[in-house]
Structure 1
């Protein structure tokens, strides 16, 4: 039996955390559920991460970093409308192939909003910083055009909402989208 290094275990905890948090949210996910999914004890989990919040923030950072990598890979060597279309299509594939990424994003927004409402403004600092990196990635690939960046991300957020609500690709609500922004028909 090959033993995993602490870094490999940490990596497996982050993947398990994305799965668990995407399904049940921050408050609905126990560290025990994450530990069980990874196959480690809770004490071991807390040797890798100091607390549940640190696990959630690591999962959130990974989710947004993965999205940045998808956008960058799609837009490599492209400009303008070509970059926009490539990133939109790549994002569509990402959330179709790995719906946990979309659910984790939605859970991030809920967790930060809940923390802010409860007066915990520090909780969202890292998530906001990671989101700014996502914005910067898109912004640079779209030629540093603020309007294009805003429009792209606004469409993306609307796509997130419509997909999460289960609107089928043929529904008229998708008619105003770029063809690449419509959900994949199965």
Structure 2
């Protein structure tokens, strides 16, 4: 028996630790390759405890996807309500928390699973509506915002951000489609 007792933490804090460990594991390995054993070890809990809390690996994955989309939406809510400012806030989030973009990409990659597809599609569409609500952007502007966001996500995931002018290009594209009366 080891000399240290397990650390007791409130359920909400333990859940947050598990979700953070799961985000790291799923960002690296996706739904199919992510391992609950690795998540449990990183979070300092047992594998059965994760199953008890989340039900299954897929449900944990979907919760991580939800947390990721929540983070993105929260960053957008705090930003100045222009497409360029939201884009800048998103890039800063990707650089600060690289697993954010990777989890989003893994959510899209796992969309061959019908349950994952429904959940990710719902969150994606909700985020599109939030962009329109926050900025007044029309459908074309929102699609353009998401297209440039995907380029930023991939560039960040591949660590191309400092080697390419994607950020400047994205800002230029977003300025082209900015709603009338917005000076970005």
Matches within 5 A, 1:1-20: 3-20=8-25
1:143 aligns with 2:148: no
Q: Which residue does 1:162 correspond to in 2?
A: 155
Q: Which residue does 2:59 correspond to in 1?
A: 54
- In 2, Cα distance between the equivalents of 1:137 and 1:129? 12
Counterpart of 1:169 in 2: which secondary structure? coil
- In 2, Cα distance between the equivalents of 1:123 and 1:159? 23
Question: Quick check: 2:98–2:156 contact (8 Å CA) kept in 1?
Answer: no
Q: Which residue does 2:71 correspond to in 1?
A: 66
Q: Which residue does 2:93 correspond to in 1?
A: 94
Counterpart of 2:170 in 1: which secondary structure? coil
- In 2, Cα distance between the equivalents of 1:47 and 1:101? 25
- In 1, Cα distance between the equivalents of 2:165 and 2:83? 23
Question: Quick check: 2:151–2:166 contact (8 Å CA) kept in 1?
Answer: no
- In 1, Cα distance between the equivalents of 2:96 and 2:88? 12
Runs of 5+ consecutive residues of structure 2 not aligned to the other structure: 1-5, 175-184
Pick closer, same or farther for the CA change 1:6–1:157 going to 2, 3 Å: same
Q: CA deviation at 1:175?
A: 6.0
Runs of 5+ consecutive residues of structure 1 not aligned to the other structure: 182-186
TM-score normalised to structure 2 length: 0.82
Residue deviations 1:49-72 (CA, integer Å, cap 9, x gap): 111001000000000110000011
Q: Which residue does 1:134 correspond to in 2?
A: 127
Residue deviations 1:128-179 (CA, integer Å, cap 9, x gap): 1111211111111121411211111111112222332332435366663326
Q: CA deviation at 1:46?
A: 1.3
Q: CA deviation at 1:126?
A: 1.4
Pick closer, same or farther for the CA change 1:2–1:162 going to 2, 3 Å: closer
Q: Which residue does 1:110 correspond to in 2?
A: 109
TM-score normalised to structure 1 length: 0.82
